[in-house]
Structure 1
């Protein structure tokens, strides 16, 4: 986690998808305005400070890209075709000039003439690579929080967004408590 953002989805494009949390319920918007987008891009390593203030249009574009990636990910999970409009959004952003590596006094940084558009281009390209075989077969959704992630585990059986501190840990605690309750009530373990 960097700042208030968790980067545990296994790909930056899926981390962007997860900027709308709680998809199984009311939803928690984490890109509420230009400052949130700026903070997310810097935390993701897709921009350096001082990043010019993103516009409201940049926020709308980031959200539109995020939702197109999410719908394409759901299509992959359902083994259904991706919608043409979503593919057009991904391909359109991917066609913009991407971020380019530069050496600066801070070391290696990623820069562009239009940094927010370049960051969205980089995210779209990452999404295209993630949604295509062989990575597409590793896309998962956490059964608890509905977070979309790329299963990079060796066995390919990751189920939870986070086993250590997140939903996986909470599920293990519930299971453990249920076993203790059953055994103390005379039930079978």
Structure 2
């Protein structure tokens, strides 16, 4: 089960990368069933989405899993298309997580939320996994060649962040992250 294989697969796809291309390949590479995506009344200013681990039968949405042991991705209904798409793909990246990286119950989820509000010097595996999922999602949603083209155009002033976001169908907020000096290092560090 290799994120690297998914990343390489996406390099040959035209942007914007389609979820209909991503989801079956993530499932194939992880050997896990397709997660069910549920739009919910979450307040996106607090939580935009979350991943319900396979086998969490205590969560109220668990009964809607696509298969026994299937995961569920919950996404805030009130967001625009680009935000919903990004959150779904970011949460999908958790299918690559190891068991200790997953948030399996409400207490761990509450602890994770607390880390976002008042981070500590020692991050939990779940917090690191959530941060890594952002980089993973950006890595598959923006093929490297396209990212390099955008970087040249952006530096020359020929394109702005909104146009890049619209081309990739991602939130404008994440466009600067694509050009972070350590972007390749962070994406390449994922196995």
Q: TM-score, normalised by structure 1?
A: 0.28
Structure ID, larger Rg: 1
Q: TM-score, normalised by structure 2?
A: 0.28
Which structure's relative contact order is higher, taking Cα pairs within 8 Å and 6+ residues apart? 2
Structure (1/2) with the larger helix percentage? 2
